[in-house]
Structure 1
Amino acid sequence: MKNLHRILGMCLLATTIHTAYGCELSPKNTKSNAVIAEAIVPGENEKSDNNTVKIALLLDTSNSMDGLINQAKSQLWDIVNKFTHAKCGNDIRPKLEIALYQYGNDNLSSREGYIQQVLDFSSDLDEISEKLFSLTTNGGEEFCGQVIQTSLKQLDWGKNPDHLKMIFIAGNEPFTQGKLNYKDAVANANEKQVVVNTIFCGNYEQGINSAWKKGATMTGGEYLAIDHNKRVVHIDTPYDDIIIKLNGKLNTTYISYGSLGASKMAMQAEQDANAEALEEVVIVKRAVSKSSRMYNNASWDLVDAVEDEDFNVAAIEKEQLPQELQNKSTAEIEDYIETKKSERAGIQKEIQELNAKRDAYIAKNQKENTAGELENAMLEAIKKQAEKKNYRWD
């Protein structure tokens, strides 16, 4: 599945740099919120307040789309890992928010056009994973124009012209179906400075003939056609098992607090299990994401929360702390947090180093014809657009 996954990942990465504006070139004085404080990778202190990437995934969940949904479940971590290394022109790391819609499913309300918002814009990676794994397929009517219009109306896209805002819609029925003309929806996207990118699950020419390409090009977006059921064999590496074990150790560094603490920690473990059950390589990629700045749990984890200078550990009610900390003094709790923070930093660093070796091993052992023409074309487009839009990856 690697080539197909990579194409989807490249598609998402490429279109983050296709909007009319790029990164903010001068930071603003904004105050971060403790609940959404950015997770910090050892050695990094970049804030993401001024640069936000918003992606809305609109997925067809009608019959025969199981392959697409499975790719979305596993591809999430490739997308996150791409953005981990993204920098804007002022060297600020962008914040990534993802929203999720499903459409074309008979289990959804016909009055709503067989469309459902599964998740509003969120940077909570465990929550995004949970919602993706909740999707199931069933026959239905696919109205591309209407689901685009619905996402434009319901989501808060913001008015900051420097933010990168994009829609990715994937499906396999004509783009023209439904009462709402897709051209009207796309025109609305243009007004909101949202780029529409289309992924047709089928023959490339068929997608063009059924208006999928037009739906993308009207906003300067990308049109791709994929075989959503294609299976690509992954290359196992000597580092996979070690990374998986380190992921388990990483989980022991989280200190839950507040009303969400216990349930969020359970969700973390559940999404680890979902990833591993899907395919071993997925839990490896998820572990890499969890070792990066993109995986932030400040709303329920004390180690992430204390990165915000306004966060006050002493203000937390004792009953909102783990049982083992409820009888500790504030100083003792702070020392405990520092210990876990240090442990986490070491584990994250080790995972990142192993992943670099893993990437090198895969590059060395993959066949020369592994990368297809479309993938090569996407890489070329990414480099060109990155230069134009002031993004770079390190």
Structure 2
Amino acid sequence: MKTVLKSLVIAFSLTTLMACNANNKKTEISDKLIAETIINTNTKETTPEIKVALLLDTSNSMDGLIDQAKAQLWKIVNELSYAKCEDESPNLKIALYEYGNDNLNAEEGYLRQVLSFSDDLDDISKSLFSLTTNGGNEYCGKVIKTALNQLEWGNSEDDLKLIFIAGNEPFSQGNVNYKDATKLAHQNDVTVNTIFCGDYNLGISTSWKDGADLTHGNYMAIDHNESTVHIASPYDDKILELNEKLNKTYVAYGSAGRKKMEMQAEQDTNALSYNKANAVSRTVSKSSRLYINSSWDLVDAEKDKSFSYDDLDEEELPNELKGKSKAEIKTYVEQKGKAREKLQEEIENLNKKRRNYIAKQNTKSSNNLESAMLEALKSQAEKRNYKWE
């Protein structure tokens, strides 16, 4: 994107310089140098990323907030899967912190990094379901500064870098001034969005709005005890049936393969623990481009340029592939890949009908974590030329 434009500008500038100084040998630049400059510049191009650090208050009064985060994760992921940055589909990485919990280390400010930036959606789900609440001190400035210092935010101008912090105690608590923390965020091109769990005006008077304003982020107040509404559709049963078939297309390998497949099934169960419609949302996420498991699944791994069948250790293969030739393994993986693509296409087509059905049924506006996050994400993404399909 922007790097391509930069390379064209460099090429144009160098070409112009050659024309203007054709008689000056000291400033002569060869076509080879131009070509090398373009190649070298283009190799720096990377896929844009949406990076979201979610900082959740896990003190006693926040059970409703944590419940919303667990119940609404897949809806948020699905909405982000439709994002486009010019002609590219951005990757998604999510980090998770908890703060304000007496079970956490007091010397570290009653906060904990639960998960660093990750694109492993199962791992993100597992991390959310690991959260429990307990009374504590909520230090917003401290947890923001910690997330800024600990996470790898990168320097790409195309990346969307966002912090979402949710809680209900004064934003100014703790020995780290929230103004210093938000100033650091602004310097690093990270936008801080604040979500106050309670009355809108109370959030303003306790500095939650000021915390967002300092980085041009969104201030939002939500009802953290609002129950998540999952709307059932006529397509749910079929999508869940396809999910069972989808799981059978994964070819686990390596020491982590079996554990990862177990985690996949566990997160299916966690999603279903809310209701069928939430499990459907997770299935849609699993069929999207954001659900990638190349670290343990041969079908996804084969798509990586660095992958080679010659590097596979037979001991790390699943039982059905032990003793097979490289050609037989390749054929097996390709068949699983084709089956997965077909299932993903079926799920996608059913989900389009499902989304249309839900849009007609869902006339009630929500005031919860999902609605707050998506409102902020979309408004800030549009400023970076992100669009939604």
In structure 2, do the counterparts of structure 1 residues 375 and 142 end up closer, same or farther at CA, with 3 Å as the change threshold? closer
1:1-394 equivalence runs, <5 A: 24=2, 26=4, 29-30=42-43, 49-89=46-86, 91-367=87-363, 369-370=364-365, 387-394=382-389
Q: Structure 1 length as normaliser, TM-score? A: 0.85
- C-alpha RMSD over aligned residues: 2.4
**Post-superposition CA distance 1:105-125 (Å, at most 9, x none):** 000010011010000110000
Aligned sequence identity (%): 59
Counterpart code for 1:305: A
Q: Is 2:230–2:278's contact at 8 Å kept on the other side of the alignment?
A: no
In structure 2, do the counterparts of structure 1 residues 245 and 70 end up closer, same or farther at CA, with 3 Å as the change threshold? same
Counterpart code for 1:145: G
Q: Is 1:49–1:95's contact at 8 Å kept on the other side of the alignment?
A: no
**Higher alpha-carbon deviation: 374-383 or 281-290:** 374-383
CA distance in 2, matches of 1:65, 1:382: 23
Q: Is 2:232–2:276's contact at 8 Å kept on the other side of the alignment?
A: no
1:50 CA drift (Å):
2.8
Q: Is 1:24–1:50's contact at 8 Å kept on the other side of the alignment?
A: no
CA distance in 1, matches of 2:177, 2:276: 42
CA distance in 1, matches of 2:371, 2:96: 28
**Higher alpha-carbon deviation: 294-303 or 76-85:** 76-85
CA distance in 1, matches of 2:228, 2:165: 23
CA distance in 1, matches of 2:373, 2:70: 22
CA distance in 1, matches of 2:2, 2:276: 38
CA distance in 2, matches of 1:79, 1:361: 18
Q: Structure 2 length as normaliser, TM-score? A: 0.86
CA distance in 2, matches of 1:187, 1:386: 21
SS in 1 for 2:273: helix
SS in 1 for 2:4: coil
CA distance in 1, matches of 2:89, 2:310: 30
CA distance in 2, matches of 1:381, 1:319: 48
Q: Is 2:54–2:164's contact at 8 Å kept on the other side of the alignment?
A: yes
**Post-superposition CA distance 1:228-255 (Å, at most 9, x none):** 1012543211111111111111000000
Q: Is 2:164–2:192's contact at 8 Å kept on the other side of the alignment?
A: yes
CA distance in 2, matches of 1:115, 1:384: 29
**Post-superposition CA distance 1:338-360 (Å, at most 9, x none):** 11011101111111111111111
**Post-superposition CA distance 1:218-277 (Å, at most 9, x none):** 001011100010125432111111111111110000000112111111111111111111
In structure 2, do the counterparts of structure 1 residues 266 and 118 end up closer, same or farther at CA, with 3 Å as the change threshold? same
CA distance in 1, matches of 2:380, 2:151: 26
**Higher alpha-carbon deviation: 147-156 or 160-169:** 160-169
1:327 CA drift (Å):
1.0
Q: Is 2:76–2:374's contact at 8 Å kept on the other side of the alignment?
A: no
**Higher alpha-carbon deviation: 384-393 or 282-291:** 384-393
1:70 CA drift (Å):
1.2
2:21 is matched with none
1:26 CA drift (Å):
2.8
Q: Is 2:85–2:387's contact at 8 Å kept on the other side of the alignment?
A: yes
CA distance in 1, matches of 2:67, 2:372: 24
Instruction: Give the helix-richer structure, 1 or 2.
Output: 2
CA distance in 1, matches of 2:3, 2:75: 27
CA distance in 2, matches of 1:382, 1:57: 12
Q: For the pair shown, which has the larger CA radius of gyration, 1 or 2? A: 2
1:364 CA drift (Å):
2.0
1:326 CA drift (Å):
0.9
2:34 is matched with none
In structure 2, do the counterparts of structure 1 residues 229 and 122 end up closer, same or farther at CA, with 3 Å as the change threshold? same
Counterpart code for 2:322: Q
Q: Is 2:218–2:376's contact at 8 Å kept on the other side of the alignment?
A: no
CA distance in 1, matches of 2:301, 2:333: 10
Long gaps (5+) in structure 2: 6-40
Long gaps (5+) in structure 1: 1-22, 32-47
In structure 2, do the counterparts of structure 1 residues 302 and 120 end up closer, same or farther at CA, with 3 Å as the change threshold? same
SS in 2 for 1:278: coil
In structure 2, do the counterparts of structure 1 residues 299 and 174 end up closer, same or farther at CA, with 3 Å as the change threshold? same
**Higher alpha-carbon deviation: 237-246 or 298-307:** 237-246
